[in-house]
Amino acid sequence: MKTNGILELPDDSVGIVQTEYYTFAAPPEEMRLVSGRMLGPVTLAYETYGKLNGRRSNAVLLLHALSGSAHAAGFNSADDLYPGWWDLYVGPGKTFDTNKYFIICSNVIGGCTGSTGPASIDPGSGSEYGLSFPIVTIQDMVNAQYRLVRHLGIERLLAVAGGSMGGMQALQWCISYPDMVASAIPIATSASLSAQGIAFNEVGRQAIFRDPNWKGGDYYGKTKPEAGLGLARMIGHITYMSERLMHEKFGRRLQNADLFGFNFESEFMVESYLHHQGIKFVNRFDANSYLYITKAIDYFDLKADYGSLAAAFEKVTADFLIISYTSDWLYPSEQSREIVRALRAGGIHVGYTEIESDTGHDTFLLDDRQTQRNISNFLRSQFEKHG
Amino acid sequence: MKTNGILELPDDSVGIVQTEYYTFAAPPEEMRLVSGRMLGPVTLAYETYGKLNGRRSNAVLLLHALSGSAHAAGFNSADDLYPGWWDLYVGPGKTFDTNKYFIICSNVIGGCTGSTGPASIDPGSGSEYGLSFPIVTIQDMVNAQYRLVRHLGIERLLAVAGGSMGGMQALQWCISYPDMVASAIPIATSASLSAQGIAFNEVGRQAIFRDPNWKGGDYYGKTKPEAGLGLARMIGHITYMSERLMHEKFGRRLQNADLFGFNFESEFMVESYLHHQGIKFVNRFDANSYLYITKAIDYFDLKADYGSLAAAFEKVTADFLIISYTSDWLYPSEQSREIVRALRAGGIHVGYTEIESDTGHDTFLLDDRQTQRNISNFLRSQFEKHG
C-alpha cells in the first residue's frame, strides 16, 4: 500500500505528484492570440505521470473541461483528501496506464490554477489583469500547449484526449498540429457549442457580472464575487447531470426533514447538493477565469473558423475514437455524429461509441467501465501501430 | 373590424376587457392554508369572456402558468400593444370559443397582478407583506379559485384547462372539487415537479436572494431586485424552449456584427433574446411573487399529498384530455403518461395526445394547430355531453 500521509493509497494510484510550470513567450516575443492581441510571458501549469520511453512515442496529452486543472491524478500533498479530476482513469494499470504511457495533463491559458489568466500579474501594469486580460480561444489554448509539448521534447503525441471543452481542445490539436497527433479521443463534445450551450454560459456569466463584488473584474485583494460565481456553478451543475440521474440521486427527498418547512430554506436534497457544489467551487476557482473560459467555449466553432467541417479536417491524419453519452443533453450525441460523419467523409479512421448512460454529460468523469474499456483498447491499438 | 384605439382587431378578438376583482375571507373568516397559516382578506383578479348560458353549463376555467395573469385574452386598454397570454386560443370562433363558452381566467394567490400576494398590504402591519406572506400551495390557489367560481354562481365547470403550473391547478381542481369539474385539460404538466425542475427553480430563487436590492424581501418603495429577477427569468426561458428551437431561432448567429468582438458584450442573438426577456419581465413581475409561485410549484406532489396517484384520483369523475409535447424537456411526456396510466387504472375516461413539436415546453402558448384542434374537439364533445 502507498500512502499520501492521510490515506492508504491503492496500488493503482500515481501517488504524490507535483504540479510543474513552464513559462515562455517573454516579451518581446509574446504569443499572438486569435484576437490579434499579444500575451506574454505565458505560464502553463502541467503534471506528468509515467515515463517517456526512449523513442518518445508513448506520450498522451490529457485536456480538461471548464473547471479542471493540470492536476489530473494522484495527490499534490499529503494533506489532500481528494485526488486529481481524472484519477479514476490515470494510474498504473488504469485506462491511461502510467506503466505504459507518459501522461501529460496541461492546464489552459485563461485559467486560475497556475497558468496565466486574469488573476495573473500583468507585467505592463504590475497588478492583476482582471478584465484587461485578452479574450482567449480554444485555438489559443492549444497553441500554448503546443509550446509545452515541444518543451517536453515530444515531436508526436500518441494521443490527445479530453471531454467537453477538453474534447474541443483535442479536435483543435488535430487541426492545428496534424503532424504532431497520432490519435485523438474527443469525448462528450461538439464541433461548435449549441445556442442552448451559449445560453447557459451567458446566464452563468450574468450571475457573476450582477454580483456587486465583481466590480468590473477588479476584485483581487477585496471581497470576491462568491455569490455570483457560486450561482454560475449551480446552473452549470444542472446541465452536467441528466434529469434521470437527478431523479435517482435526489428525487423529491428532503434533506433534513420529513415535512415541508413552508419557508424559503433549501429543503430538497437537490437544492442542498447544488449549494454544496457552489460553495466548493468558489474556494478553488476565480470568477474572471469562469468568464474567460466560458467565452472560449462559446467562440469554438470549427465550421465558422474553417468554412466547413470538411475544410477544418482537411489536413487531419489522426485516428479517432469519439465517445458520446445517450443522456448527455448539453452535448447531445448528434453533435458527435456530425464530427464522425465529417471525418469519415474525409477518409479518416474513426471509431465511434455512443454509450448508453443515465448519468449525463459528466459521465466521462465517473467510473464508467465502458468509457474506460473503449479508451484502453483504442490506446493499445494506437500504441501497437505507432509506439 | 374591431379596434382597441391603436390596432385594428380581427373579428376573433374578444376586444377590450376589464380585469375584475373578488375579495373574500375578510377577518375573522380568513382562509386556512395548507401550512396551517391563515390569510385574509383575499383578493383574486379574474377576467371573463363570453356569456354564461341559462343552464350555467358552459363555464370553462383557464389556469395560468408561473408568469401568467388573469389577463388571458383581448386588451385591457386602448394603449395595449399586446393582447392577453392565451389570446391565440380565446375568442369568437377560437379554441375556447367565446360564442359558445363562458370563459373565466383566474389569477393565483401569491401573484402580483391584482391578487393577494407578498406585494399586498398586510392588514396586520399596514405595510407590504414581503416575506411575512405565508407560503401558498397549488391546493391553496385552487381553494381560493373555488370561492371565486361559487361567487360567479357556477356549480359545475364544463372544463378546467391550463398548461405547466396551470395544468397542476387543473389536476388539483379535479381532486379537491370532484363534483364541480365535468372535464379537465392539463397540458405540459406533471403530478409532481421533477428534481431537475426544483433545481432550476432554486437557482432562479437564488438569483433573487443574492441580489443586494432584494433586502430579505423588503424592497417595496425602494430599488427593486431587477438584476436577480431578470436573471431568474433568463434561466427559466432556456428551460421553456427546446434545444432545437434555440438552434433554429438563433443558432450561433451574432446580433449586430459579422465578427466576434473579443469582449464580454452579449453578441450572440440567443444572448440578446434572453436579456430582452429578462428586461421585459422585471417591468411586469414582482420578485417576491416569483419566489412564492416557484415554491408552490416545487411543493406540488400528488403522490406525496395523497399517498399515491391512485389515491389522489380516487374521487375524480372528470373526463380528461391530456396533452404533452415531444420536445418538452422540462415536463417530459413520461410525466403526462404517468398521470394517464393512473387515471385509466381508476376507470377515468382519458384522451391523451403527445404532440410532435420542436418548440419545447411553451408550445401550448404558441399558435399550435394540433393543440388547438385537440382542445376544440374535446370541449365540443364535453359540451354535447354536459352542456
B133-147 pLDDT, tens digit per residue, is 999 999 999 999 999
> Could you check whether the bond before residue A134 is cis, i.e. omega within 30 degrees of 0?
no
Residue A151 has pLDDT above 90, yes or no: yes
**Considering only alpha carbons, which residue of chain B is nearest residue A235?**
B203
CB contact under 8 A, A203 and B298: no
**Considering only alpha carbons, which residue of chain A is nearest residue B35?**
A262
CB contact under 8 A, B270 and A198: yes
For chain B (length 387 residues), average pLDDT per consecutive 10?
74 96 97 98 98 98 98 94 96 98 98 98 96 98 98 98 98 98 98 98 98 98 98 98 96 94 96 97 98 98 97 98 98 98 98 97 98 98 95
Residue A28 has pLDDT above 70, yes or no: yes
**Considering only alpha carbons, which residue of chain A is nearest residue B329?**
A243
CB contact under 8 A, A291 and B131: no
Residue A2 has pLDDT above 60, yes or no: yes
Sign for the pseudo-dihedral over CA of A9, A14, A17, A21: negative
Q: Confirm whether A358 is a catalytic residue.
A: no
| Exposure b/e, A306-325, CB count within 10 A at least 16 = b | eeebeebbeebebbbbbbbb
Stretch (H or E) spanning B48: strand B42-49
Please tell me the pTM assigned to this model. Answer: 0.97
A63 and A166 in contact (C-beta within 8 Å)?
Answer: yes
CB contact under 8 A, B199 and A332: no
> Could you check whether the bond before residue A332 is cis, i.e. omega within 30 degrees of 0?
no
Give how far Cα A299 sits from Cα of A198, A292, B306, Å: 9, 11, 50
The catalytic residue among B67, B361, B362, B368 is B361
Q: Cell triple for residue B208?
A: 433573487
A336-368 pLDDT, tens digit per residue, is 999 999 999 999 999 999 999 999 999 999 999
The catalytic residue among B328, B333, B357, B362 is B328
3-state helix vs strand vs coil in chain B, percent to 5: 40, 20, 45
Give how far Cα A132 sits from Cα of A125, B17, B142, B268, Å: 10, 54, 54, 22
Q: Cell triple for residue A378?
A: 483504442
Tally of residues, chain A: 387
| Residue B6: strand, helix, or coil | coil
A106 and A20 in contact (C-beta within 8 Å)?
Answer: no
Bridge partners, A31 (sequence order): A39
Find the mean pLDDT for residues A135-155. 98
**Per-residue model confidence (pLDDT) at position B78:** 86
What does the mean pLDDT of chain A come to? Answer: 97
Bridge partners, B121 (sequence order): B128
**Per-residue model confidence (pLDDT) at position B54:** 97
Stretch (H or E) spanning A243: helix A243-249
Bridge partners, B59 (sequence order): B102
Q: How far apart are CA A253 and CA B192, in angstroms?
A: 12
- Sequence letter at residue A84: G
Structural domains of chain A ordered from first start = 2-193+302-386 (3.40.50.1820), 194-299 (1.10.1740.110)
Nearest residue, CB atoms, A202 vs list B266, B295, B332? B266
Sign for the pseudo-dihedral over CA of B379, B383, B386, B387: positive
Q: By C-alpha distance, which of A299, A276, A258, A247 is closest to A138?
A: A299
* Residues 6 or more apart in contact with residue A311 via CB below 8 angstroms: none
**Per-residue model confidence (pLDDT) at position B7:** 74
B162 and B186 in contact (C-beta within 8 Å)?
Answer: yes
Phi, psi of B8 (to 5 degrees): -80, 125
* Residues 6 or more apart in contact with residue A264 via CB below 8 angstroms: B131, B205, B209, B291, B295
Nearest residue, CB atoms, A231 vs list B210, B252, B304? B210
- State the pLDDT confidence band at A8, using cuts at 50, 70 and 90: confident
CB contact under 8 A, A131 and B199: no
What does the mean pLDDT of chain B come to? Answer: 97
Residue B369, burial from CB neighbour count under 10 angstroms (0-12, 13-18, 19+): exposed
Give how far Cα A183 sits from Cα of A177, A300, B279, Å: 12, 21, 48
Q: How far apart are CA A190 and CA A175, in angstroms?
A: 14
CB contact under 8 A, B206 and A301: no
A254-270 pLDDT, tens digit per residue, is 999 889 999 999 999 99
Mind telling me how many Å the CA of A37 is from chain B's nearest CA?
10
Q: How far apart are CA B153 and CA B170, in angstroms?
A: 19
Mind telling me how many Å the CA of B212 is from chain A's nearest CA?
8
**Per-residue model confidence (pLDDT) at position B1:** 52
The catalytic residue among B106, B164, B192, B333 is B164
Bridge partners, B179 (sequence order): none
| Residue A266: strand, helix, or coil | coil
Q: How far apart are CA A89 and CA A120, in angstroms?
A: 31
Residue among B229, B260, B269, B301 with most chain A CBs within 10 A, to mutate: B260
Mind telling me how many Å the CA of A98 is from chain B's nearest CA?
38
CB contact under 8 A, B252 and A192: yes
Give B98's Cβ-side CA count (13 Å radius).
24
Q: Cell triple for residue B282?
A: 422585471
Find the mean pLDDT for residues A300-306. 97
Q: Cell triple for residue B50?
A: 363570453
**DSSP track, B131-150:** GGSPP--HHHHHHHHHHHHH
